[in-house]
Structures are given as C-alpha cells and as structure tokens.
Amino acid sequence: MAESRFVLVPLLSFILILSLPFMAEPAIGVNWGTLSFHRLSPTTVVDLFKQNKIQKVKLFEADPDALKALMGSGIQVMVGIPNEMLFLLSSSTQASDLWVRQNVSAYTVKGGVDIRYVAVGNEPFLSSYSGQYVSYVMPALLNLQQSLARANLANFVKLVVPCNADAYESSLPSQGAFRPELTQIMTQLVSFLNSNGSPFVVNIYPFLSLYGNSDFPQDYAFFEGTTHASYRWIKCLLQCI
C-alpha cells in the first residue's frame, strides 16, 4: 500500500500537468515535437512558451537547438531518448556516460537548462513493437542511473519510462491488469522508480478515444467527470502494479 501511494502522487501530478493544457492548473506542460513541415525556430517556440506561461516541456530527444533555446528560460525539461538508442545504452556504460555528459551535464550548468527528467525510450512496450525493446529498458535504466550518479545529478534528474496506455489491458478499469507478458518488466520498472524517487509515467491520449468511439464519455476523456472517473482510472491502474 505504501508503495502504491508513493507512486500515485507523482503520477497524478504528472498526468495532470502534462495532459490538461486547457485546465487552469498552476503548471502546464507541453510536448515539443519536431516532426513538422513548418518548423518554428526554437527561440520562437520558447518565446511562445513564456508568453503562454508554459513551465514544463518534454522533448522527444536531446535536440541541441531546442536545448540551447531553453537555456536560462527557467522552464523545466524532460529530455527523451529515442527507442533506437536503448540497445546501445543498455550494452555500454561508456555510451551511457557519454549520453549523460553530452545531453544532460552540458546543459545543467548555471544559466543552463533545468532538466528534471530523462525519458528512457518512448512507449517502448507498445504492442506494435512486438517486444523488440523490452529487454533493453532495465539495463539502459541501470546504466543511465549510474552515469547520472557519477555526474552528481542523480538527486536532481530522474529517469522515467513513458508507458503507452496499451500496456494496460481491460475494458473496465476495475478489472485492470497489465498485459501478461509485461508483468515482469513492470514489476522491475516500478521497483526501480520507487527506489530512485521517480514517477510512473503513462501517456494518455483521450482525444484518440473520442475520435475512435463517438460514445466515449467526453467528461471522462477530459478529466472533468463529476464522479472523478479519471482518478478511479489511475487508482485502478496502480492497483495492478
């Protein structure tokens, strides 16, 4: 019980912070993707964040231009590591040391970037990847954690693994369980997160459920249900960890 509460608090804050851009929350976060036909210059993007009081940003990889533009902004940043890098980082401590040096330590200087999280992979357990990244996740986490410790950053920069909602399988939250083939990795992951003070992160895209099913309850999708359905969903998710 103590363990699930420990996980619950950061999870709730994270989901609320990153997934509810339209609610009057004191801290609002956005994903800054770069797959676009008309990319804005990074300084323009950071100016837009400031104008809109965006205080938290997730980058899908350590894009040097984005990170440079974020220097001195005070915006809290989650830096992502693409799934394709997991094998290398899982197999070499030298590679993880270099990754941390080039993509974290280089920016966490005075007047630099306020990097708070490193996302190790992006939804590496997605069923469409057929398990190809699963075995790299824990070794990559352990290598990166040691690299952060060697760089004296372990207390400040937390490692997370953004999970996909399809890691969870059930039509009803109250009957929830992770996909059976993920039980072992989820147990190891949660234990790692717990011992390092990191939140459990899950990417939830309520708009996809709305597009896919016209009966999907809108208040549920936008966390506005008077019955606090979203809280129940998250609690159920955590009970199966």
Ligand X SMILES: *[C@@H]1O[C@H](CO)[C@@H](O)[C@H](O)[C@H]1NC(C)=O
* Sequence-ordered list of residues with C-beta below 8 angstroms from that of 18, at least 6 positions apart, any chain: 29, 30, 31, 56, 58
Q: Considering the complex, what minimum distance in angstroms separates the CB of residue 70 from ligand X?
A: 14
Q: What is the CB-side half-sphere exposure of residue 187 using CA atoms within 13 A? A: 6
Min CB(94)–ligand X separation in Å:
10
Contact between 145 and 154 (Cβ < 8 Å): yes
Number of Cβ within a 10 Å radius of residue 3: 12
Binding mask 58-87 for ligand X (x = CB under 6 A): ---xx-------------------x-----
* The only residue of 98, 134, 210, 229 in contact with ligand X, by rule CB under 6 A: 98
Residue (25 or 84) nearer to ligand X, CB: 84
Query: Cα–Cα distance between 241 and 199 in angstroms, integer?
Result: 13
| Phi, psi dihedral angles at 237 (to 5 degrees) | -55, -45
The verdict on whether 25 is a catalytic residue reads no
Phi, psi torsion values for 164, nearest 5 degrees: -85, 155
Q: Confirm or reject binding of residue 120 to ligand X (CB under 6 A).
A: no
DSSP state of 101: I
- 214 near 220, Cβ under 8 Å? no
Binders of ligand X among residues 136 to 165 (CB under 6 A) are none
Interface with ligand X (CB under 6 A), residue from 90, 103, 145, 230: 103
Query: CA Rg, the chain, in Å?
Result: 18
Which of 61, 123, 169, 224 is catalytic? The answer is 123
The one segment of 97-105, 160-168, 189-197, 219-227 that binds ligand X by CB under 6 A: 97-105
Nearer to ligand X, 61 or 169 (CB): 61
The site for ligand X, by CB under 6 A, has a size of 7
**With CB under 6 A as the contact rule, which of the stretches 99-107, 148-156, 203-211, 217-225 interacts with ligand X?**
99-107
Least distance (Å) from ligand X to the CB of residue 14?
22
Q: Quote the crossing angle between the two packed helices 229-239 and 2-19, to the nearest 10°.
A: 140
Catalytic residues: 123
Residue numbers of the site for ligand X (CB under 6 A)?
Answer: 61-62, 82, 98-99, 102-103
